[in-house]
């Protein structure tokens, strides 16, 4: 088995896992740029009242509820942050928090509460990102400009996914820490060079989501790992009296209408909905000026010859795309512009790529910012760590 085949097989295993559970791992970057509070910033509870901290939270379409959330059972759900949920000052969405339930529960929302607060929030799931095994909620912090704080700022919270009946299904005690990119110049986006430009063993930058804003500053484009771009349409084929299907391509008597416009009685319409999805996208920058970029996509292709027109069941083939490319960069500490150059010959540059442009970063978050024909694009990466290499599939959920 050659190297290319091995990589494709490993990529396929990763795709199967990530597509099923939206796997994201626990941040563990080493230098957390902290103020001596176990690496998670200053003790917010000592400086602000709990309700004031609650008001700092930014949660989309949240409803405020007076009192405390109910006690939650332990249904063994998993969350993609082990300890601290990091967000960047000025972020539009904050952190993409995934809860895995393996299809055993119907999650419709999340209760989110600050410890000792007099109220809590009910936040609906991100409907567009709902999957069979996971549901998503975005958690962010926005501190009023006139508030005098030292970054990073940490807020302890409880997250309770709940079902349609409002009953909590589990509970996660986490901390949300907001970091200021202006204070993050002591951190680096690079990894110490290990003697090879292959994937580092301990951490990398993992794509969180992409935002596109139009001329008026309105969000018009959103992408995230595992979020399917679906193409739906209706086509057709034929169903014979014995219940077998045939297509226009292989059956001369398979057509929708006769020449006089009357319908063909064996013609059947069929609903097709195929998709394209980026399963993951990872980056690693070495301090010797080299970088690697790897992403995997999957898509379904409609197969008329395998479809069941008698029962309106479309058939698909699935294609997996594995893209690995390398190049050079000019990162220096404190820079706000990154120049990247791909090696265009070995291997060819396919899949998702980056362009040179403005960056903002902290110890845990890296954002690429582009202005393209009056539109603003933000590509958000998060620092993740694993035990062993990427291909061990040792993905951590808490």
Mean pLDDT by 10 residues, the chain (398 residues): 44 42 36 36 66 95 95 90 90 93 89 95 90 89 87 94 95 94 81 85 90 91 91 96 94 95 96 93 95 95 96 95 94 93 82 94 94 93 67 43
- 165/235 same-domain check: no
- 208/163 same-domain check: no
CATH number at residue 88: 2.60.40.10
- 238/161 same-domain check: no
In a domain, 3, yes or no: no
Name the nearest CA neighbour of 323 among 289, 363, 282, 383.
Answer: 282
Dist. CA 47–CA 40, nearest whole Å: 15
Sign of CA pseudo-dihedral 197, 200, 201, 207: negative
- 240/368 same-domain check: yes
Dist. CA 296–CA 51, nearest whole Å: 43
Q: Give me the pLDDT at residue 184, please.
A: 58
Max Cα distance, the chain (Å) = 83
Dist. CA 321–CA 151, nearest whole Å: 41
CB 390 within 8 A of CB 14: yes
- 133/195 same-domain check: no
Q: Give me the pLDDT at residue 195, please.
A: 84
In a domain, 185, yes or no: no
- 138/268 same-domain check: no
* Opening angle at CA 105, ends 102 and 110, nearest 5: 105
* Reduced DSSP (H G I as helix, E B as strand, rest coil) percent helix, strand, coil of the chain, to 5: 10, 45, 45
Name the nearest CA neighbour of 216 among 380, 378, 374.
Answer: 374
Q: Give me the pLDDT at residue 347, please.
A: 65
Name the nearest CA neighbour of 98 among 388, 387, 384.
Answer: 384
Dist. CA 380–CA 210, nearest whole Å: 6
- 171/201 same-domain check: no
Q: Identify any residues that bridge with 300 across adjacent strands, giving them in sequence order.
A: 318
CB 291 within 8 A of CB 285: yes
Instruction: Give residues with Cβ within 8 angstroms of 2, minimum separation 6.
Output: none
Q: Give me the pLDDT at residue 57, please.
A: 96
Helix/strand/coil for 17: helix
Dist. CA 201–CA 193, nearest whole Å: 11
Find the helix or strand (DSSP H, E) in which 245 lies.
Answer: strand 245-246
In a domain, 11, yes or no: no
In a domain, 83, yes or no: yes
Last residue of a domain, one of 153, 180, 207: 180
How many residues are there in the chain? 398
CA 68 to chain centre: 30
- 249/104 same-domain check: no
Q: Give me the pLDDT at residue 278, please.
A: 94
In a domain, 14, yes or no: no
Dist. CA 79–CA 172, nearest whole Å: 8
Total domains present in the chain: 2
- 174/211 same-domain check: no
Last residue of a domain, one of 125, 157, 180: 180
Phi and psi torsions of 15, nearest 5°: -60, -45
| Structural domain boundaries enclosing 172 | 34-180
In a domain, 382, yes or no: yes
Instruction: Give residues with Cβ within 8 angstroms of 332, minimum separation 6.
Output: none
Burial track 332-353 (b if 16+ CB lie within 10 A, e otherwise): eeeeeebebebeeeeeeeebbe
In a domain, 51, yes or no: yes
Last residue of a domain, one of 149, 180, 211: 180
- 148/215 same-domain check: no
- 210/95 same-domain check: no
Q: Give me the pLDDT at residue 185, please.
A: 64
- 238/383 same-domain check: yes
For residue 235, give both structure tokens.
Answer: 């086509």
In a domain, 234, yes or no: yes
Predicted TM-score (pTM) of this structure: 0.82
């Amino acid at each position: 088995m050659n190297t290319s085949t091995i990589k494709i097989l490993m990529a396929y295993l990763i795709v199967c896992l990530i597509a099923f559970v939206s796997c994201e791992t626990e941040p563990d970057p080493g230098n957390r740029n902290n103020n001596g509070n176990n690496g998670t910033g200053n003790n917010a509870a000592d400086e602000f009242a709990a309700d004031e901290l609650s008001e700092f939270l930014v949660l989309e379409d949240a409803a405020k509820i007076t009192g405390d959330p109910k006690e939650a059972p332990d249904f063994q759900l998993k969350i993609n942050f082990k300890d601290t949920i990091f967000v960047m000052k000025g972020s539009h969405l904050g952190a993409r928090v995934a809860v895995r339930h393996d299809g055993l529960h119907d999650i419709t929302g999340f209760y989110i509460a600050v410890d000792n607060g007099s109220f809590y929030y009910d936040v609906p799931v991100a409907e567009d990102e709902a999957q069979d095994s996971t549901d998503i909620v975005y958690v962010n912090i926005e501190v009023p400009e006139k508030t005098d704080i030292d970054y990073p700022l940490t807020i302890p919270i409880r997250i309770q996914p709940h079902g349609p009946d409002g009953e909590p299904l589990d509970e996660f005690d986490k901390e949300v820490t907001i970091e200021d990119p202006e204070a993050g110049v002591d951190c680096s986006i690079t990894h110490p060079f290990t003697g090879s430009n292959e994937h580092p063993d301990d951490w990398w930058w993992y794509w969180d989501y992409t935002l596109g804003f139009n001329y008026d500053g309105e969000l018009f484009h959103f992408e995230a790992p595992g979020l399917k771009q679906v193409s739906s349409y209706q086509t057709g084929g034929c169903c014979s009296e014995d219940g077998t299907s045939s297509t226009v391509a292989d059956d001369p008597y398979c057509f929708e209408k006769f020449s006089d416009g009357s319908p063909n009685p064996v013609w059947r319409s069929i609903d097709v909905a195929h998709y394209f999805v980026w399963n993951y996208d990872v980056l690693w920058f070495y301090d010797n000026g080299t970088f690697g970029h790897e992403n995997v996509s999957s898509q379904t292709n409609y197969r008329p010859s395998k479809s069941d027109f008698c029962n309106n069941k479309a058939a698909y083939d699935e294609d997996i795309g594995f893209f690995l490319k390398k190049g050079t960069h000019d990162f220096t500490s404190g820079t706000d512009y990154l120049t990247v150059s791909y090696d265009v010959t070995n291997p060819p540059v396919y899949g998702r790529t980056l362009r040179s442009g403005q960056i903002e970063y902290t110890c845990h978050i890296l954002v690429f910012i582009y202005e393209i024909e009056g539109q603003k694009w933000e590509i958000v990466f998060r620092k993740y760590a694993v035990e062993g290499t990427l291909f061990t599939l040792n993905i951590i959920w808490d």
